[in-house]
Amino acid sequence: MNNLRINSERMLDDLNELAQIGATPEGGVHRPALSDADLAAREWFTQKARAEGFSVQQDGAGNVSARLLCGEAGARTVMCGSHLDSVPHGGRFDGALGVVAGLEALRTVRDSSLSLPVHLEVMSFTDEEGTWIPLMGSQALTGNLTTDKLASPRGGLAAFDARLAAAGTNREQALTASRDPQSIKAWVEVHIEQGSRLEEAGRSIGVVTGIVGISSYWLNFLGRADHAGTTPMDRRLDAMRGVAEFVQQSRELVMNRFPAGVVNCGCVRVEPGAFNIVPERARVSLEFRHADAGKLDAMREALLNLALHVVEVEGLGVEVEQMGIHQPAPMHREVVGAIEQACDRLGLSRTSLSSYAGHDTQMMAEITQAGMFFVPSLGGFSHSYRENTPDEDCIHAGDVLLHTVLQLAASD
Amino acid sequence: MNNLRINSERMLDDLNELAQIGATPEGGVHRPALSDADLAAREWFTQKARAEGFSVQQDGAGNVSARLLCGEAGARTVMCGSHLDSVPHGGRFDGALGVVAGLEALRTVRDSSLSLPVHLEVMSFTDEEGTWIPLMGSQALTGNLTTDKLASPRGGLAAFDARLAAAGTNREQALTASRDPQSIKAWVEVHIEQGSRLEEAGRSIGVVTGIVGISSYWLNFLGRADHAGTTPMDRRLDAMRGVAEFVQQSRELVMNRFPAGVVNCGCVRVEPGAFNIVPERARVSLEFRHADAGKLDAMREALLNLALHVVEVEGLGVEVEQMGIHQPAPMHREVVGAIEQACDRLGLSRTSLSSYAGHDTQMMAEITQAGMFFVPSLGGFSHSYRENTPDEDCIHAGDVLLHTVLQLAASD
């Protein structure tokens, strides 16, 4: 079993075939969730898996999966996979690699005539990228999807309903996709890194120790609208100065005190917003991430205190609106260990790191032993046609996934 | 003649009557240029002046004026006045005081049976506040209005045409309002201060030495859009940091190096403008003012160099778009002297200062000897129902205007 390897040519052929579906002229793919291209990719996956003799099913949330059953009716399932949808004009590796590698892992096990005590299942989740509802498929499977979330899809309700119908399902059915956690033994996902830490460190595999939690706020700095000519400089209460100070100091605070965290101020709106009026209200979005729940809390406290400090110094006011909190998802030690053993068995260099992006794995971590690993993405390009993972690394993805699944299947 | 005083009760009655037209519940007025309320205010002025026996006329730009003719056909005209329009939900003194004081000055001269060698004219200019075109009426009278400016009014062309028609004119007629500079001997305007320098200094009259020039730009800071999770903090090219640095440093620069200047960054727009994307492009409006042309040039150079310095430090790019330049308008020494003599004759304390706001006087300064003075505005409120100038100061406005006009009429 230690010598088992995937059929790398077969897997790379799959990856290339899949990249033709929704292909863009630049070399990426455009497969927003539930678009015609996304449905074509599911159909390709379905036909491919059926041709191999796997049982294929689509649940109410549109998640499509293929199973290699072990013959024991009460057996639990080791799951792997990722997603086939892309961001608009995205790359050919994000999500696709995890599904193709999973399919290849199942084929390799089937061809090996190994007898495992568990079912294997490779999953393609619906709308990981959030064309409609971020992580929709994995939210549905883990029981986190709600009628409310389904009622306010980003792309509009009428369009959402139409695209669900095109996929052969509807909102009501989407709520039926939750699974019994007891039926699932473990989950593992392979994904391109979306950064360049592996490339720079010269490592083949990044073993994810946790997926960051994300907190987001609107901070409304409040000043006073005044005539920008007649009001002396030292009499102004310029709300924009609050934003300017906050943007600069929040970055320094996070880099100095939370080196493993990140912060972004991505939107700013100023009112009344005229050349000749001192800003009365300046609104800035604040988003920060950390893989450690305690540190995420400490960041929140430090950043909101910073906002209070800034307004005290500047003589302004501030209103804080909490927008969202996603708790960090630590990866399960069993799966982390299985990935590490797989790397060691295959002689592949590895490093441990956090995922700074959200993934379906963070939902799966709520109901089962879950883990994830990355392979290098040259230049760190993400959500871009420039995504580029060399064949060798794609093959590593398949082999490490295979041996991780085997390890998880064999564990108690 | 030195003992001549306006009829203060008559003038205050006028001011109160006028404040009823377009009155807002809070005690201000809402008379945007060419609105029904603005037209009603012109009609009030017309009727008032006609009842006094003055000749009243409206020119093609909608400027309404009343004349006290001296009987000599070839005589030149000493003009005074201001505007009857207001910003939306503005105050009752801005503009109105200058027109009412001018009307009262003419009545006082008429009642005195003084014989002057010049005509007197009190003017109400159209759209000083820029509902459609800032300083439209004075631009028209001084030959600065163009077909282009008339074709892109702020409130939209169809609405503009409709409101011009309601005022009995049109765009073509507006271009006919220019006057022969030789026919005008001088111009003087009284206005509330729109600041609190007089109140704080305990002076009755602010003799304006110059009206600030105004330069305005869009600065487009250019970074790179990146994933706000997966991109390490020290690898980001965050365009918003350029804006933040510029907002802070431009203020310090102006306060330290140009203490008589002011600067404002009143609009900010960020693209793509998402919580989870590092800002690629951050656009900030820059407006700065100085009453000295050389200093205004030096500010421009220093501020644009600051933008270049900021992007060099931050590793960003910047695009500079010039939006508008209005040169400073120094006040004419004859008119400044006449105002000062009027104050001294009346025993009123005075100080010299710059006007940090634009006024019709800056246009008039292009074609004639022009000057301006301020009376106190309690608390410095401007463009607000909170504008408040005590009766005593309104009376000073009328008396100083009267004696300035008399002085200008008598000068060679």
B274 touches chain A (CB under 8 A): yes
Q: Quote the pLDDT of residue B382.
A: 87
Q: What are phi and psi of B105, to 5 degrees?
A: -60, -45
pLDDT classification of B155: cutoffs 50, 70, 90: confident
- Match 């693209």 to its residue by tokens: B271
The kind and range of the H/E element at A371 are strand A369-375
Nearest CB to A241: which of B212, B216, B248? B248
Do B117 and B61 form a contact (C-beta atoms < 8 A)?
no
Torsion angle in degrees (nearest 10) through CA of B229, B234, B238, B244: 120
Asked whether residue B360 falls in the same domain as residue B309, the answer is: no
Separation CA B154–CA B87 (nearest Å): 13
Measured between beta carbons, the chain B residues lying within 8 angstroms of A359 are: none
Measured between beta carbons, the chain B residues lying within 8 angstroms of A212 are: 229
- Chain A interface, mutation test: which of B131, B237, B262, most A Cβ atoms within 10 Å? B262
- Match 């892992």 to its residue by tokens: A105
Instruction: Give me the residues of A, 9-68, that contact B with CB < 8 A.
Output: none
**Residue A325 above 90 pLDDT?**
no
Distance from CA of A221 to the nearest CA of B (A): 14
Q: What digits encode the pLDDT tens for the residues A240-268?
A: 999 999 999 999 999 999 999 999 999 99
The kind and range of the H/E element at A306 are helix A293-314
| CA distances (Å), origin B118, targets B5, B101, B114, B177, B411 | 20, 19, 11, 21, 10
Q: What is the residue-averaged pLDDT of chain A?
A: 96
Residue B2 domain-assigned (yes or no): no
**Residue B1 above 80 pLDDT?**
no
Q: Quote the pLDDT of residue B77.
A: 98
Asked whether residue B74 falls in the same domain as residue B152, the answer is: yes
Query: How many helices (H) does chain A have, and how many strands (E)?
Result: 13, 14
B134 touches chain A (CB under 8 A): no
What mean pLDDT do residues A181-209 have?
Answer: 97
What mean pLDDT do residues A386-391 have?
Answer: 96
Residue A376 domain-assigned (yes or no): yes
Closest residue on chain A to B274 (Cα): A266
Q: Which two tokens stand for residue A19?
A: 């990249």
B214 touches chain A (CB under 8 A): yes
Q: Which two tokens stand for residue A381?
A: 């390009």
Q: Which two tokens stand for residue A11?
A: 């897997």
Helices B96-112, B8-19: crossing angle, 10 deg rounding: 150
- Cβ pair A269:B265 closer than 8 A: no
What mean pLDDT do residues B315-329 have?
Answer: 93
| CA distances (Å), origin B221, targets A206, A316, B254, B276, B312 | 35, 26, 20, 19, 11
Q: Quote the pLDDT of residue B4.
A: 96
Q: What is the CATH number for B28?
A: 3.40.630.10
Asked whether residue B112 falls in the same domain as residue B51, the answer is: yes
Measured between beta carbons, the chain B residues lying within 8 angstroms of A278 are: 264, 266
- Cβ pair A241:B247 closer than 8 A: yes
Q: Quote the pLDDT of residue B411.
A: 87
Strands B281-290 and B369-375, bridge-based pairing: unpaired
- Cβ pair B357:A279 closer than 8 A: no
Asked whether residue B140 falls in the same domain as residue B243, the answer is: no
- Cβ pair B278:A268 closer than 8 A: no
Q: Quote the pLDDT of residue A242.
A: 98
Asked whether residue A133 falls in the same domain as residue A263, the answer is: no
B199 touches chain A (CB under 8 A): no
Q: Quote the pLDDT of residue A274.
A: 87
| CA distances (Å), origin A296, targets A88, A148, A252, A257, B385 | 30, 27, 16, 12, 47
What mean pLDDT do residues B352-376 have?
Answer: 97
Q: Quote the pLDDT of residue B304.
A: 98
Separation CA A219–CA A100 (nearest Å): 42
Give percent above pLDDT 90 in chain A. Answer: 92
Q: Quote the pLDDT of residue B305.
A: 98
- Chain B interface, mutation test: which of A191, A275, A353, A362, most B Cβ atoms within 10 Å? A275
Asked whether residue A368 falls in the same domain as residue A277, the answer is: no
- Cβ pair B233:A251 closer than 8 A: yes
Q: What are phi and psi of B74, to 5 degrees?
A: -90, 10
Asked whether residue B238 falls in the same domain as residue B92, the answer is: no
Distance from CA of B111 to the nearest CA of A (A): 37
Give me the helices (H) in B175-275, please: 197-201, 239-257
Q: Nearest CA to B304 among B188, B198, B220, B213?
A: B220
Nearest CB to B233: which of A255, A273, A274? A255
Do B30 and B90 form a contact (C-beta atoms < 8 A)?
yes
What mean pLDDT do residues A203-223 have?
Answer: 97
Distance from CA of B234 to the nearest CA of A (A): 8
Separation CA A319–CA A281 (nearest Å): 10
pLDDT classification of B299: cutoffs 50, 70, 90: very high
**Residue A412 above 80 pLDDT?**
no
Q: Quote the pLDDT of residue A379.
A: 92
Please work out, in degrees rounded to the nearest 5, the angle formed at the alpha carbon of residue A241 by the alpha carbons of B387 and B264. Answer: 55
- Cβ pair A248:B247 closer than 8 A: no
Distance from CA of A215 to the nearest CA of B (A): 10
B289 touches chain A (CB under 8 A): yes
- Cβ pair B234:A255 closer than 8 A: yes
**Residue A154 above 90 pLDDT?**
no
Among the three residues A306, A326, A346, which one is the final residue of a domain in this structure? Answer: A326
Among the three residues A326, A357, A388, which one is the final residue of a domain in this structure? Answer: A326
- Cβ pair B285:A265 closer than 8 A: no
Separation CA B8–CA A408 (nearest Å): 96
Q: Quote the pLDDT of residue A109.
A: 97
Q: What is the CATH number for A258?
A: 3.30.70.360
Q: What digits encode the pLDDT tens for the residues A101-119?
A: 999 999 999 999 899 999 9
Q: Quote the pLDDT of residue A354.
A: 94
Separation CA B45–CA B30 (nearest Å): 17
**Residue B36 above 90 pLDDT?**
yes
| CA distances (Å), origin A109, targets A4, A44, A54, A163, B232 | 9, 21, 12, 35, 38
Nearest CB to B195: which of A230, A238, A382? A230
Q: Which two tokens stand for residue A282?
A: 């300046």
Q: Quote the pLDDT of residue A34.
A: 98
Asked whether residue B148 falls in the same domain as residue B70, the answer is: yes
Distance from CA of B144 to the nearest CA of A (A): 22
Asked whether residue B360 falls in the same domain as residue B301, the answer is: no
A214 touches chain B (CB under 8 A): yes
Q: Quote the pLDDT of residue A125.
A: 98
Distance from CA of A214 to the nearest CA of B (A): 9
* Type of residue found at A87: V
Among the three residues A265, A297, A326, which one is the final residue of a domain in this structure? Answer: A326
Nearest CB to A267: which of B274, B285, B323? B274
B276 touches chain A (CB under 8 A): yes
Instruction: Check the CA dihedral B157-B161-B166-B169 and report its sign.
Output: positive
B240 touches chain A (CB under 8 A): yes
Q: Nearest CA to A39 among A168, A140, A143?
A: A168
- Cβ pair A195:B231 closer than 8 A: yes
Residue span of the structural domain in which B294 resides: 213-326
Do A105 and A68 form a contact (C-beta atoms < 8 A)?
no
**Residue B198 above 90 pLDDT?**
yes
Distance from CA of A287 to the nearest CA of B (A): 6
Separation CA B165–CA B333 (nearest Å): 40
Give percent above pLDDT 90 in chain B. Answer: 92
Strand partners, B215: B288, B325
Residue A74 domain-assigned (yes or no): yes
Q: Which two tokens stand for residue B3?
A: 């003992």
Distance from CA of A127 to the nearest CA of B (A): 17
Q: Quote the pLDDT of residue B269.
A: 96
Asked whether residue B273 falls in the same domain as residue B394, the answer is: no
Closest residue on chain B to A229 (Cα): B356
Residue B59 domain-assigned (yes or no): yes
- Cβ pair B266:A275 closer than 8 A: yes
Do A92 and A19 form a contact (C-beta atoms < 8 A)?
yes
pLDDT classification of A71: cutoffs 50, 70, 90: confident
pLDDT classification of B151: cutoffs 50, 70, 90: very high
Measured between beta carbons, the chain A residues lying within 8 angstroms of B282 are: 268
Q: Nearest CA to B342 among B373, B365, B364, B368?
A: B373
Measured between beta carbons, the chain A residues lying within 8 angstroms of B267 are: 270, 273-275
Q: What digits encode the pLDDT tens for the residues A297-320?
A: 999 999 999 999 999 999 999 999
Q: Quote the pLDDT of residue B321.
A: 95
Torsion angle in degrees (nearest 10) through CA of B195, B196, B202, B203: 0
- Eight-class DSSP state of B388: -
Q: For the whole prediction, is pTM greater than 0.90?
A: no
pLDDT classification of B274: cutoffs 50, 70, 90: confident
Residue A2 domain-assigned (yes or no): no
Q: What digits encode the pLDDT tens for the residues B119-148?
A: 999 999 999 999 999 999 999 999 999 999
> Residue A326 burial (CB < 10 Å; 0-12/13-18/19+)?
middle
Asked whether residue A125 falls in the same domain as residue A245, the answer is: no
Helices B36-51, B8-19: crossing angle, 10 deg rounding: 150
Q: How many CA atoms lie within 13 A of A161 on its CB side?
A: 5
Nearest CB to B230: which of A216, A285, A357? A357
Closest residue on chain A to B237 (Cα): A264
Distance from CA of B323 to the nearest CA of A (A): 10
Note the Cα B382 to chain centre separation in Å. 12
Q: What digits encode the pLDDT tens for the residues B95-122?
A: 999 999 999 999 999 999 899 999 999 9
Nearest CB to A264: which of B216, B228, B269? B228
- Chain A interface, mutation test: which of B197, B199, B214, B264, most A Cβ atoms within 10 Å? B264
Do B409 and B120 form a contact (C-beta atoms < 8 A)?
yes
- Eight-class DSSP state of B227: B
Polymer length in residues for chain B = 412
**Residue B412 above 80 pLDDT?**
no
Closest residue on chain A to B258 (Cα): A233
Distance from CA of A190 to the nearest CA of B (A): 16
Measured between beta carbons, the chain B residues lying within 8 angstroms of A274 are: 266-267
Residue A62 domain-assigned (yes or no): yes
Q: What digits encode the pLDDT tens for the residues B207-247?
A: 999 999 999 999 999 999 989 999 999 999 999 999 999 99
B385 touches chain A (CB under 8 A): no
Distance from CA of B269 to the nearest CA of A (A): 6
Asked whether residue B364 falls in the same domain as residue B406, the answer is: yes
Q: Which residues contact A3 (CB under 8 A, 6 or more apart)?
A: none
| Strands, E assignment, B160-252 | 184-192, 205-211, 213-222
pLDDT classification of B154: cutoffs 50, 70, 90: confident
Residue B27 domain-assigned (yes or no): yes
Residue B71 domain-assigned (yes or no): yes
Q: Quote the pLDDT of residue B114.
A: 92
B316 touches chain A (CB under 8 A): no
- Chain A interface, mutation test: which of B198, B218, B267, B271, most A Cβ atoms within 10 Å? B267
B225 touches chain A (CB under 8 A): no
Task: Provide the domain count of chain A.
Answer: 2
- Match 């409310």 to its residue by tokens: A148
